[in-house]
Amino acid sequence: MRWALIGASRIARQYMVGAIRAQHGEILQVLSASAERARAFADEHHIPRSGTDLNELLQNPDVDAVYISTTNEKHVPQAIAALTAGKHVLCEKPLALTLKEASDMVCAADEAGLVFATNHHLRCSGSHRAVRALIASGRIGRVLSLRLHHAVFLPPHLQGWRINSPGAGGGVIPDITVHDADVARFHLGEDPVSVVAQMASSGLGEGVEDSAMSVWTMASGAMVMSHESFTHPFAGSGLEVHGTDGSIFARDVMTQNPIGSIELVTASGREAIGFDQHDLYAEGVRRFHAAVAGDGEPAATGLDGVKSLAVALAVRDAAARGVRVEVNYGDLH
């Protein structure tokens, strides 16, 4: 697979260049709004070409797929242009700032017959897969509730558009709540139906929320409690799944790296659960390559990205208006 990178971003630098190459993908070029930044990125990562012209990049017949990791408001026009040019697309979350735009991306991919995936990395981790398998095995019985702890401290080098630019899709809800929505859907196999929520600016947010707490009701009656923040240096992350016959405690698993621990607690006692510790992002690229080759679906599809965005939008709306909000997933199913 021959890739082009749209966005000279940190996530591309830290994880995705390595993940693509680990799956034997070739990176042909990188695009940035700044020629200097594109060139520096290309030099640093030994990428043959760099530039600022999206059309020129998309006209390159050697490029099979693009990875989009620009700021959130740019994802839609860049993805639609890439799909129109016949390129498969792996797009960062949140797919868009509105549900309509995200749905348009999925429709464009369907019409073109191209693979369109969302880079929700957590469902690619060995830890989350082990939790999901435990739930599916029935060892905790009927799921009653899921608690998601995803309150972290945003390091200074990430404190740019995420904390001060609503226009670029800043705020903890588009940044982290989307991941938590995807995790809940992945584990429980159902979509949140309605949400209540509160949000706050607790030290970092300048015009956007930096913290949110919400409760989601699932169709089965299970309840989900979700906490996201940019301002919690020592809270750690994790999830708990509580069922009629047992509980799962997964600690430090809401991360970018294959770390953490899982414990199953039942009437028989406490049991440490092992899991595979592969690279999350490389696994996402592996599934993307397979989907392009006609073997299954990407780890998180475009529709998964639409649904995680729908939940995040509902959380923000519920918090802003102080009411319970039914999640609007639009017309796609």
Identify which of residues 157 and 333 has a Cβ nearer to ligand NDP in the complex.
157
Q: How far is the CB of 141 from ligand NDP (least distance, A)?
A: 32
Q: How far is the CB of 223 from ligand NDP (least distance, A)?
A: 26
Q: How far is the CB of 328 from ligand NDP (least distance, A)?
A: 22
β-pairing verdict for 269-273 and 223-229: unpaired
In this structure, which long-range contacts are made by residues 195-198, counting pairs with CB atoms below 8 Å and at least 24 apart in sequence? Answer: 195/311, 195/314, 195/315, 195/318, 195/324, 195/325, 195/327, 196/318, 196/323, 196/324, 196/325, 197/315, 197/316, 197/318, 197/319, 197/325, 198/319
Binding mask 248-267 for ligand NDP (x = CB under 6 A): --------x-----------
Residue 163, helix vs strand vs coil: helix
Cα dist from 151 to 18, 86, 129, whole Å: 27, 39, 21
DSSP line for 245-285: SEEEEEES-SSSSS--EEEEEETTEEEEE------HHHHHH
Other Cβ atoms less than 10 A from the Cβ of 14: the count is 12
Distance CA 167, CA 72 (A): 9
Q: Is 237 in the site for ligand NDP (CB under 6 A)?
A: no
Q: Which stretch binds ligand NDP (CB under 6 A): 27-35, 102-110, 143-151, 186-194?
A: 27-35
Q: How far is the CB of 284 from ligand NDP (least distance, A)?
A: 8
Query: Using CB under 6 A, which of 3, 4, 9, 95 touches ligand NDP?
Result: 9
Identify which of residues 37 and 45 has a Cβ nearer to ligand NDP in the complex.
37
Q: Is 32 in the site for ligand NDP (CB under 6 A)?
A: yes
Q: How far is the CB of 20 from ligand NDP (least distance, A)?
A: 14
Q: Is 150 in the site for ligand NDP (CB under 6 A)?
A: no
Identify which of residues 238 and 246 has a Cβ nearer to ligand NDP in the complex.
238
Scan residues 68-127 and list those touching ligand NDP (CB under 6 A): 69-72, 92-93, 119, 121
State the residues that interact with ligand NDP by CB under 6 A: 7-11, 32-34, 37, 69-72, 92-93, 119, 121, 158, 160, 175, 256
